[in-house]
Amino acid sequence: MYIVKIGGSVITEKSRYRKMRENVISRLADEFIPEDSILIHGAGSFGHYIADKFNLNDGLGDSNRIEYARVALDLQELNSAIIRALIEREKPAITIPVHSFHMVGEEFPHRRFKDYMERGIVPVTYGDVVLDPRKGMGICSGDQIAFHLSKALRPDKVIFVTDVDGIYDRNPKIYGDAKLLGEVSGKEKLNFSGTVPDVTGSMEGKLRVMRAIAKLGIEVMVINGLVRGRLRRAMRGEDVKGTRVLA
């Protein structure tokens, strides 16, 4: 069983509000192997833009209810495009939206994911707004969901799909001479500065989640979804350029 998390940076243009990359969504839907897999996607410019501007991660206040509702709608629209792309390719996929069933602090309801998988249907979920017992509402990132589901369901492999080849010693979008690391074990001195706003931690947050998954004894890697064929090869278990994260 595989868990695949496709970053918002891949399926949207992160710096333009609500801008999908339709051709990338189509190609990744082609490459995605539906058997015994869960798909999680990020929000990109369908989430981070409003979340950042109205501080949705700080909780529900008197003035930001409408923004929570708007982000939830925007994310549903992005999600629909992904589900549609899969169904057009005869890959049966159904959405399980986190905001409708999860409260931060409660056990993540993984059972329903398994129920769909056992019936040959790909459960799809995404980084979303969520109920929070302390601050009213908050945000649960796709990366965090990948951890919750990994802990509960123990997949054979977790694949993070992002917009760069893997983890570098520093941000490759800023430093042309940044070095790609084939493996990261946590001992390396890495620099993560200088990215587009991402309320859920960007590559640094992703590495934290990936290490937590590796500690469960699960194989975990990050690959570039903007390069044709990498997701397909990774899902086939073939060797592919990227970074493996070790415990």
Ligand X SMILES: Nc1ncnc2c1ncn2[C@@H]1O[C@H](COP(=O)(O)OP(=O)(O)O)[C@@H](O)[C@H]1O
Q: Which residues form the interface with Mg ion (CB under 5 A)?
A: 198
Q: Is 171 in the site for ligand X (CB under 6 A)?
A: yes
Q: Is 42 in the site for ligand X (CB under 6 A)?
A: yes
Q: Is 8 in the site for ligand X (CB under 6 A)?
A: yes
Which lies closer to ligand X via its Cβ, residue 4 or residue 96? 4
- Contact pick of 37, 64, 162, 224 for ligand X (by CB under 6 A): 162
The closest alpha carbon to 28, from 46, 15, 41, 17, belongs to 41
The closest alpha carbon to 124, from 28, 205, 53, belongs to 28
- Contact pick of 39, 168, 212, 234 for ligand X (by CB under 6 A): 168
Q: Is 9 in the site for ligand X (CB under 6 A)?
A: yes
Q: Is 167 in the site for ligand X (CB under 6 A)?
A: yes
What does 190 interact with, of ligand X, Mg ion, none (CB < 5 to 8 A by kind)? ligand X
Count the residues of the shown chain that bind ligand X, applying the rule CB under 6 A. 21
Which lies closer to Mg ion via its Cβ, residue 117 or residue 160? 160
Q: Is 198 in the site for ligand X (CB under 6 A)?
A: yes
Q: Please, which residues bridge with residue 6 across strands?
A: 41, 161
Rounded Cα distance, 154 and 218, in Å: 7
Q: Which residue is nearest to ligand X (CB)?
A: 7
Q: How far is the CB of 59 from ligand X (least distance, A)?
A: 22
Q: What distance lies between CA 198 and its chain's CA centroid?
A: 12
Please provide residue 39's backbone torsions phi and psi, each rounded to the nearest 5 degrees. Answer: -115, 130
Give the count of beta carbons closer than 10 Å to the beta carbon of residue 68: 23
Rounded Cα distance, 34 and 98, in Å: 20
Residues 6+ apart with CB under 8 A from 147: 209, 212, 213
Residues 6+ apart with CB under 8 A from 201: 141, 143, 208
Which lies closer to ligand X via its Cβ, residue 117 or residue 207? 207
Site of interaction with ligand X (CB under 6 A): 7-9, 42, 162-164, 167-168, 170-173, 190-192, 195, 198, 202-203, 206
